[in-house]
Amino acid sequence: MEDLKKHYEPKNFSDKVALSFTKFLRFLADTFFKKRYGHRAVVLETVAAVPGMVAGMLLHLKSLRKMEDDKGWIKTLLDEAENERMHLMTFIHVAKPTLIERVIIMIAQFIFIITYAIIYLISQRTAHRIVGYFEEEAVISYTEYLHELENGTIPDEPAPEVAINYWNLPLHATLKDVVRVIRDDEAGHRDVNHNFATVIDNRIKSKKYNELKEYNLNKKNISQEKDKEWKKN
Ligand SMILES: [Fe+2]
Ligand SMILES: [Fe+2]
């Protein structure tokens, strides 16, 4: 249960930007979908499957350009994109998007691919932090969805076959079981992306620290040389 409420407290400007961006999009989603959780899941999963693919592609190209190992990041990100796509393949059997939602999906994909790629190129850590926060919200939304299913406000139904096969669920599994495993996936993506952002953050900090150390060392050497020169004269 604790794991479901996990929240990464913003520690710097980049984190704050990521959190504000996420809260803004959450507000838009809440206003538009209200309690239509099935439709919400379909539309938002079409967006959720984008960052992993964009980030994976950009890191793949970077690895080629710099001839550097990616330390397993590309595979993790591409797996995330595939997992999110399977969430969509599942929910499409639960709710059919309306015409207006289909238009929103197309516009959102176009805008989000470009926006996320730009954010990733400008600040990789902000981009991963954004996904970390998106996934925190996804965990909250799926918890709310699950409560509605448990209360009976939304009628439960047999799990779609695609979900039973993908998550290896029992044949009598229902939508409640599906929402639970999907929520676990989202919690996993949340932790991975927050960790990626923290790793990059630490890299930046240690680079700055080394630069400062080098600068102070050079300053000391210069002053020692000047000292020697002064003594000679
Ligand atoms: Fe998802
Ligand atoms: Fe997700």
Spacing, Cα 80 to ligand 2 middle (Å): 8
Spacing, Cα 85 to ligand 1 middle (Å): 7
The separation between the first and the last C-alpha atoms of the chain, rounded to the nearest angstrom, is 74
Spacing, Cα 131 to ligand 2 middle (Å): 8
Separation of alpha carbons 124 and 198, rounded Å:
11
156-169 confidence digits (pLDDT tens)? 999 999 999 999 99
Residue 166 burial (CB < 10 Å; 0-12/13-18/19+)?
middle
Give the ligand with the smallest distance to the CA of 46.
Answer: 1
Phi, psi of 9 (to 5 degrees): -70, 125
Query: pLDDT tens track of the chain, all 233 residues?
Result: 568 989 999 999 999 999 999 999 999 999 999 889 999 999 999 999 999 999 999 999 999 999 999 999 999 999 999 999 999 999 999 999 999 999 999 999 999 999 999 999 999 999 999 999 999 999 999 999 999 999 999 999 999 999 999 999 999 999 999 999 999 999 999 999 999 999 999 998 888 898 888 888 888 888 788 878 877 76
pTM for the full predicted model = 0.89
Give the ligand with the smallest distance to the CA of 91.
Answer: 1
69-92 confidence digits (pLDDT tens)? 999 999 999 999 999 999 999 999
Domains of the chain: 13-201 (1.20.1260.140)
Give the ligand with the smallest distance to the CA of 190.
Answer: 2
Give the ligand with the smallest distance to the CA of 138.
Answer: 2
User: Do the Cβ atoms of 59 and 70 come closer than 8 Å?
Assistant: yes
148 closest CA partner among 94, 101, 84, 187: 94
Spacing, Cα 3 to ligand 2 middle (Å): 15
CA 204, 133, 188 angle in degrees (round to 5)?
Answer: 95
